[in-house]
């Protein structure tokens, strides 16, 4: 390491100073290092440089994204209890037995670590996100994991599949051992992720509103003790925040691996689920004490202690000699900045210190659960707003605490690139694959079979079967059963929570604005399809290098799309749906210059007043009517049909038509709340035909249902007394719409199952609200999916069992293909 301070004045040339910074394994730019020395008033020590390097990184300071996020994103509504700014956001859930409860949510990424060490990277991603929720005073009730991997059939196939298997292993090993149910996620494969996989993680918790703990030293907290709890500090994760804020260079393999943390879910289980942390919180409440708590993630002790102090407008003094360490002679910057897992810091009054130490060290016996683990006082909150750190009697950090935590801001250049605005030009009918072997019927059936067996659309049972979904006994709808997971987190209370996450990188690649807007819209449709009212959003924004103007423009456009969607789709009171938590992950770009496709991933919280009315996608009975809600438009850009069948990545992507989108979603929510629907599924990837196939394949194999649809490209018969709606393809009658456009367009919408005795009422209710819908057909007991054109031509006629076999084993074929 480097024991001597760095005097930047001795390096007037930026190139020479940059070389010095690299030699010290720092990510600081030369101008940033000079500014640090100017603020400190002395040449910075290695420990000071490491602290600023982390706190001023993109990962911690949002130095490139902060102005854009503040400019666009709505963060407030009547239901927001706590918006962005702490470790998690909190939105009002329900009042039960006179107590107000909130849902706590956090959304992060662990991309670079998972590319380098997939098992450890994914596991510690889960570990970090549940700590973010736990330290707010919440009980953790679920996780989700949206994942993006490289091309499983491309030139890096072997590496890609190794990362897939490792990430899945890391998630299930940690999550299952921790005892938190997995509620869902999604997966996409694309060659743009060959060098940078995405492992985004979401965690949910529930807490009483009057028991929220903030990530700050409370008012009047001068002299509060800072207690470090958890594993003994070691080298693991040192430089992790900076590693996550730079381009991934495979040549630095050993350095990269050293920046990845090492998980210990069993210790976390004791701290979090086996109630050690909860016992401290309970005792603080009984004693009427105000306390603060923060998890140790990026930047370790340095970030957690400086941020918990600065948030309360206090300073902090630390003694690194008091930190329990796993090995002797660790340098001060390592003790201060390593990201050893399973650690927290408490800010408590002096009178409470001995009891806190006794709870962890004796009652919960941390030293015997993990070697070196314990709780100990490492510092104090001070009135003077300084961040001072001592090691072996020497002052190794002395800085204004707000300089440390305040970060810096860059106003990056944004340069537009071309986007796809024109509809995709489909091949002539006679040029379509297999068309000569049966016309549209031969083609549409073959296209459906191929799409269902592809990695993009096949069953996710390989993933879901590894995860424990019901460990806490609160799960109502499991992954794969509906568009969103549903849990009932309060015993004796009918209120339920629905959660889903979405994002389509193929849309983002063609049109970043609509990519962002569609991520919000589809997430909302997912909770609407189970009957839940959307109340809050989170976003994890995964992009390339912000120093590249076109890459930064992609980020800005995606954020603008998210903002417009949140503001225009609105909640049940007509307010914007607030973004209450989130994360930005930049530098998802390899040394070769390959950047990922723009990948905003949005999670949504929905609330059900009665979880017993929650809908799944499984068709329930023969003889039901199947209604399409939402027009089909000629916007196949980025669609699974265009990619898988035509190998084309071009054309106009689905737009979000704000009024139509909101009306459709709220119509489904209200019909579900009234008990008028038997099942529902949103139409997104794969289009209408894939959505219907998924509803059929969700039925029990030993009791299969079938369906018979008419591909209605023209306006239907009007409901008595109501005007006839326009055609479901957004065109007038007689324009000769192609059935593949109707069946595979990913324009937003829903397919709903309605009991025949309810169908006239449902139609009337939809018509009264001016909702465009089409009665396309009915379910039956035949076990076949049959679709006809209006002229009577058979477009699809396939046994559901055959489709299920193709769909069910798609992932296995991907892993086994040579």
Question: How deeply is 571 buried, as exposed, middle or buried, from its count of CB atoms within 10 A (0-12, 13-18, 19+)?
Answer: buried
Distance between CA atoms of residues 175 and 785, nearest Å: 38
Paired residues of 775 in beta bridges: 627
Residue 3 tokens read as 């024991």
Nearest to 356 by CA among 297, 282, 301: 282
Residue 653 tokens read as 């992507």
Say what the pLDDT of residue 251 is: 57
Helices within 360-408 (DSSP H only) = 366-369, 401-406
Q: Are 578 and 76 in contact (CB under 8 A)?
A: yes
State the residue for tokens 């049940």.
572
Nearest to 698 by CA among 521, 503, 461: 461
Q: Are 626 and 749 in contact (CB under 8 A)?
A: no
The pTM of the whole model exceeds 0.85: yes
| Domain 429-448+498-816 architecture | Alpha-Beta Complex (3.90)
Say what the pLDDT of residue 174 is: 84
Residue 186 contacts by C-beta under 8 Å, 6 or more apart in sequence?
A: 146, 147, 501, 502, 503
Q: Are 533 and 662 in contact (CB under 8 A)?
A: no
What is the chain's Cα-based Rg?
27
Say what the pLDDT of residue 729 is: 56
* pLDDT, block means (10 residues), the chain with 818 residues: 84 95 93 97 97 94 96 97 95 98 97 92 90 94 96 94 94 85 94 96 97 97 98 81 50 46 55 74 96 94 97 98 94 94 95 98 90 95 98 97 95 95 82 69 91 96 84 90 97 97 98 99 98 98 97 98 98 95 94 89 98 98 98 95 94 97 98 98 98 97 95 52 47 56 96 98 96 96 94 93 96 81
E strands, 609-673, in order: 625-629
Bridge-based pairing of strands 625-629 and 749-754 is antiparallel
Distances in whole angstroms, Cα of residue 591 to Cα of each of 155, 193, 251, 468, 515: 17, 13, 9, 37, 26
The length of the chain, given as a count of residues: 818
Distances in whole angstroms, Cα of residue 600 to Cα of each of 147, 484, 552, 654: 12, 18, 13, 16
Q: Are 270 and 276 in contact (CB under 8 A)?
A: yes
- Our measurement of the distance from residue 266's CA atom to the centroid of its chain's CA atoms, rounded to an integer in Å, reads 24
What 3-state class would DSSP assign to 501? strand
Residue 172 contacts by C-beta under 8 Å, 6 or more apart in sequence?
A: 182, 466, 467, 468
Say what the pLDDT of residue 463 is: 85
Say what the pLDDT of residue 467 is: 85
Paired residues of 486 in beta bridges: 477, 498
Residues catalogued as catalytic: 59, 110
Say what the pLDDT of residue 530 is: 99
Distance between CA atoms of residues 489 and 487, nearest Å: 6
Distance between CA atoms of residues 781 and 706, nearest Å: 6
Distance between CA atoms of residues 31 and 18, nearest Å: 9
Between the two ends of the chain, the Cα-to-Cα distance in Å is 46
Torsion over CA: 302, 279, 267, 540 (sign): negative
Residue 649 contacts by C-beta under 8 Å, 6 or more apart in sequence?
A: 506, 509, 510, 638, 642, 643
Domain boundaries of the chain, sorted by first residue:
1-44, 429-448+498-816
Say what the pLDDT of residue 1 is: 52
Bridge-based pairing of strands 315-319 and 374-382 is antiparallel
755 φ, ψ (degrees, to nearest 5): -60, 140
Q: Are 48 and 397 in contact (CB under 8 A)?
A: yes
């Amino acid at each position: 390491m480097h024991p001597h301070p760095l005097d930047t004045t001795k390096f007037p040339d930026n190139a020479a100073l940059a070389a010095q910074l690299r030699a010290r394994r720092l990510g600081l730019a030369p101008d940033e290092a000079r500014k640090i020395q100017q603020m400190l008033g002395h040449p910075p020590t290695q420990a000071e440089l490491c602290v600023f390097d982390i706190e001023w990184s993109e990962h911690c300071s949002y130095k490139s994204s902060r102005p854009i996020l503040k400019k666009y994103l709505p963060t407030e509504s009547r239901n927001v209890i706590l918006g962005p700014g702490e470790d998690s956001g909190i939105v009002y859930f329900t009042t039960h037995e006179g107590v107000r409860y909130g849902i706590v949510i956090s959304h992060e990424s662990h991309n670079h670590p998972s590319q380098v060490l997939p098992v450890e990277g994914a596991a510690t991603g889960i570990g970090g996100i549940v700590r973010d929720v736990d330290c707010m005073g919440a009980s953790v009730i679920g996780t989700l994991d949206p994942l993006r991997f490289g091309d499983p059939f491309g030139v890096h196939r072997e590496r890609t599949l190794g990362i897939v298997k490792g990430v899945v292993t890391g998630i299930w090993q940690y999550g299952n051992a921790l005892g938190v149910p997995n509620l869902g996620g999604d997966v996409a494969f694309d060659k743009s992720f060959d060098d940078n996989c995405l492992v985004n993680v979401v965690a949910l918790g529930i807490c009483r509103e009057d028991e929220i703990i903030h990530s700050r030293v409370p008012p009047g907290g001068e002299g509060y003790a800072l207690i470090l709890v958890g594993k003994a500090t070691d080298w693991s994760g040192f430089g992790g925040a900076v590693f996550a804020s730079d381009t991934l260079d495979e040549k630095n393999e050993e350095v990269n691996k050293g920046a990845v943390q090492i998980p210990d879910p069993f210790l976390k289980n004791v701290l979090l689920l086996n109630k050690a942390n909860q016992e401290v919180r309970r005792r603080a409440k009984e004693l009427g004490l105000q306390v603060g708590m923060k998890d140790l993630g990026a930047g370790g002790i340095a970030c957690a202690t400086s941020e918990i102090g600065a948030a309360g407008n206090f300073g902090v003094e630390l003694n690194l000699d008091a930190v329990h360490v796993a090995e002797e002679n660790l340098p001060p910057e390592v003790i201060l900045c390593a990201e050893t897992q399973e650690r927290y810091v408490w800010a408590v009054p002096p009178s409470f210190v001995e009891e806190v130490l006794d709870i962890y060290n004796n009652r919960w016996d941390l030293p015997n659960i993990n070697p070196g683990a314990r709780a100990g006082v490492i510092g104090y909150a001070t009135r003077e707003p300084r961040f001072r750190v001592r090691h072996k009697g020497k002052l190794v950090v002395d800085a204004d605490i707000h300089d440390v935590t305040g970060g810096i801001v860059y106003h990056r250049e944004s340069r537009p690139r071309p986007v796809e605005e024109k509809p995709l030009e489909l091949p002539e009918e006679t040029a379509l694959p297999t068309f000569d072997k049966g016309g549209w019927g031969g083609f549409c059936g073959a296209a459906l079979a191929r799409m269902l067996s592809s990695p993009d659309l096949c069953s996710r049972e390989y993933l879901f079967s590894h995860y424990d979904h019901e460990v806490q006994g609160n799960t109502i709808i499991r992954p794969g059963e509906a568009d969103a997971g549903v849990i009932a987190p309060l015993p004796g209370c009918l209120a339920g929570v629905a959660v889903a996450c979405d994002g389509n990188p193929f849309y983002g690649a063609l049109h970043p604005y609509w990519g962002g807007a569609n991520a919000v819209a589809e997430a909302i449709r997912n909770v609407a399809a189970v009957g839940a009212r959307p109340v809050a959003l989170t976003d994890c924004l995964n992009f390339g290098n912000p120093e590249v103007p076109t890459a930064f423009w992609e980020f800005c456009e995606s954020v603008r799309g998210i903002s417009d969607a949140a503001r225009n789709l609105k909640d049940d009171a007509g307010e914007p749906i607030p973004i209450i938590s989130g994360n930005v992950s930049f530098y998802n770009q390899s040394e070769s210059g390959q950047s990922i496709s723009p990948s905003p991933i949005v999670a949504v919280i929905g609330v059900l007043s009665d979880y017993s009315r929650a809908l799944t996608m499984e068709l329930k009975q023969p003889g039901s009517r199947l209604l399409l809600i939402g027009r089909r438009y000629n916007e196949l850009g980025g669609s699974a049909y265009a990619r898988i069948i035509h190998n084309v990545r071009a054309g106009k992507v689905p737009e979000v038509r704000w009024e139509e989108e909101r009306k459709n979603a709220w119509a489904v929510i209200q019909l579900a709340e009234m008990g008028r629907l038997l099942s529902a599924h949103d139409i997104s990837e794969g289009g209408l035909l894939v959505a219907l196939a998924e509803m059929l394949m969700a039925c029990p194999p030993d009791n299969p249902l079938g369906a018979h649809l008419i591909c209605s490209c023209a306006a239907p018969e009007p409901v008595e007394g109501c005007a006839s709606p326009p055609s479901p393809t957004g065109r007038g009658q007689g324009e000769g719409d192609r059935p593949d456009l109707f069946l595979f367009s990913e324009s937003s919408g829903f397919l709903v199952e309605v009991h025949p005795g309810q169908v006239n009422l449902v139609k009337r209710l939809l018509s009264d609200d001016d909702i465009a819908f089409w009665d396309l057909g009915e379910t039956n007991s035949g076990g076949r999916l049959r679709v006809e054109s209006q002229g009577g031509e058979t477009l699809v006629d396939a046994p559901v069992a055959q489709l299920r076999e193709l769909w069910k084993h798609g992932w296995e074929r991907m892993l086994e293909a040579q």
